[in-house]
Amino acid sequence: MRYNKYMKFSRLAEYFERIDKTSLRNEKTVILAEMLKEASHEEVDKLVYLALGELRPPFDRLEFNLADKLIVRALGVGWEEYQRVGDLGELAEKITNHKFSNSQMTVSEVYEQLVRIAKDSGSGSQERKVRGVATLIKQMDPISAKYIVRMVAGKLRLGFSDKTVIDALSYLENGNKEYSEMLDRAYQKRPDVGVLAQMVKEWGAEKAAEKIDVVIGTPIVPALAQRLKTPREMIAKMGRVYVEKKWDGTRVQIHFSRGQVRTFTRNLDESSAMFPELTKIADQVNADEVILDSEAVGYDPKTGKLVPFQLTITRKRKHGVVEAQSSVPLRFFVFDIMYLDGKSLIHLPLQKRREILVKTVSKGDVLVVDEHIETDDPDVLREYHKKQLEAGLEGALVKQIDGEYMPGRTGFNWVKFKESEDSRAKLADTIDAVIMGYYLGKGKRSDFTLGAFLVGVKLGENIVTLAKVGTGITDEVFGELGERLQTIKSDQKPGEYIVPKILTPDVWVEPNIVVEVAADEITVSPTHSAGYALRFPRLVKFRDDKSVNEITTLDEVETMYGQG
């Protein structure tokens, strides 16, 4: 096939319009595959990023940071007009001059202009951004203007994620999902769906999957733990294991190269500026380049004792980092090594990676190689877990000695052993859920604007309801939550939410705030769209270290229900 090397942006907008008008994931996948087929190798990465409402992959995020009021100004209308229409994209479509219906700007040209606008900084940058958006919109047809404005506002939301793009790349290859699993494994090693699309276009799916490997400076999707109920079941399934402490901290992936240290969160955001301690680790690292997996835990500088998660998480901020460093210094407990001096290590067995790790990281104050025990005795495992709980940690993490480093929650290489300290609770593990909306407070809680909130878990690309939470929350936390929810209110139900009418909240919010929820048990529910509900759910803590992509899945809920 002869590719059109310079796809018009108006053509891309037509694809967006088709995707936006269907709620069927398979149909979205087929349309995306058509779009990818028409795109050239040179521009396909830009098409993919734009389709996801981004300019770059998450670990290299570039945002516009333009408030709705400034975007309305760029459109040259009054705020009242926006309030009447209720959607910035539809407002842009409504007012755009139809004489530009044959706009000749290419995807690459529009992309470069958007990047310039987003990168603008310093004195007067907000005004320049407004002018830049206004100039770009004037060159667009109505449909293109709608989607550009939604991108700038951070509200494109076409109802799919990287996973759907991976399926579309498989469709591109042979019209089905045969290559999806293979491409997903490659993506886990280098989670840049734009680069993946370019390589599939150039080499085909199989060769692209072979060529993609770990790269310093690009985060690896972190390995996550599965759930098994008892030590006996763990040993039966995993054989001889390493058992480690489960720290109550925040996951940090460290990319070290001489002269530079970059860090990434478990949801692939760069967090380098938050951890100035790591600029001093060169003396502890016996390598030129290395990727380490670690858990950062705060400690009291006076006593040396570890501090609770909520204090550790205060370090995840953009401002006041130096002050926070002195009040909550961190130690980074390193438990794995995935890359060393140009070579990926993820395919090596854990035992070998551990040997390399010990030789690579020297003793010091910042990096601490995590301790572990080795056993195939369920009683030893149980006793170790109990000891960690008594020490104030989250329990134990169990790992196969001969297991590879497997990004994502795959297989039973790593297993959580996390029993609740609350003897009243029948549900041994907690659930990470996203807040979908809230219900207005009554009586005493009317002062806090919310009385309870609705949470959900993932089902594919969608989020389904699991519980209404209104207990386990102090007035102080309710006040903080109310303030945070105000910033992410939505005028309409987000497209990925599946919510029965009877559970419709008073106020919808964007899927942004992740919370850890405990409960007595999971029950079958005819009311919640998950098909399950939590009995006596209560808030444990905010999980600001997790994104909506990392919340508990419905499959995991079903597994927990079966283990109950």
- Cα–Cα distance, 353 to 53 (Å, whole number): 38
* Residue-wise pLDDT tens digits, 455-496: 999 998 899 999 999 876 777 777 788 888 888 888 888 888
Neighbours of 473 (CB within 10 A): 20
Rounded average pLDDT over 149-175: 92
- The answer regarding whether domain 226-417 maps to CATH 3.30.70.60 reads no
User: What is the CATH T-level fold of the domain 431-563, as seen in this structure?
Assistant: OB fold (Dihydrolipoamide Acetyltransferase, E2P) (2.40.50)
- Cα–Cα distance, 146 to 21 (Å, whole number): 14
* Residue-wise pLDDT tens digits, 255-265: 999 879 999 98
* Residue-wise pLDDT tens digits, 218-277: 999 999 888 787 899 999 999 999 999 998 888 999 999 987 999 998 888 899 988 999
* Residue-wise pLDDT tens digits, 42-98: 999 999 999 999 999 989 999 999 999 999 999 999 998 988 888 899 999 988 865
Positive/negative CA dihedral, 28, 30, 32, 35: negative
* Residue-wise pLDDT tens digits, 183-224: 999 999 999 999 999 999 999 999 999 999 999 999 999 998
Neighbours of 350 (CB within 10 A): 22
Does 367 score more than 60 pLDDT? yes
Q: Which residue is it, tokens 């996951």?
A: 251
Rounded average pLDDT over 10-16: 95
Q: What angle do CA 497, 502, 506 make, to 5 degrees?
A: 70
* Residue-wise pLDDT tens digits, 391-427: 888 889 999 999 999 988 667 889 987 554 443 345 7
Tokens read off for 340: 């060393």
Q: Where along the chain do its domains lie?
A: 226-417, 431-563
Q: Are strands 289-298 and 260-264 parallel, antiparallel or unpaired?
A: unpaired
- Which residue blocks in 254-411 are alpha helix, DSSP H? 309-312, 321-327, 350-360, 378-390
pLDDT > 70: percent of the chain: 91
- Cα–Cα distance, 384 to 372 (Å, whole number): 10
Confidence (pTM): 0.80
- Packed helices 142-152 and 68-75: angle between N→C axes, nearest 10 degrees: 150
Positive/negative CA dihedral, 394, 398, 403, 409: negative
- Cα–Cα distance, 80 to 82 (Å, whole number): 5
- Cα–Cα distance, 143 to 441 (Å, whole number): 40
Whole-number Cα distances in Å, 49 to 46, 89, 462: 5, 18, 20
- Cα–Cα distance, 489 to 512 (Å, whole number): 10
**Beta carbons of 251 and 295 less than 8 angstroms apart:** yes
Tokens read off for 234: 């763990």
Catalytic-residue membership of 458: no
Tokens read off for 66: 């333009």
- Cα–Cα distance, 118 to 132 (Å, whole number): 10
- Of residues 189 and 318, which shows the higher confidence score? 189
- Active-site position among 8, 129, 201, 246: 246
Whole-number Cα distances in Å, 544 to 249, 277, 549: 11, 21, 13
- Cα–Cα distance, 151 to 36 (Å, whole number): 19
Return mean pLDDT, the chain: 88
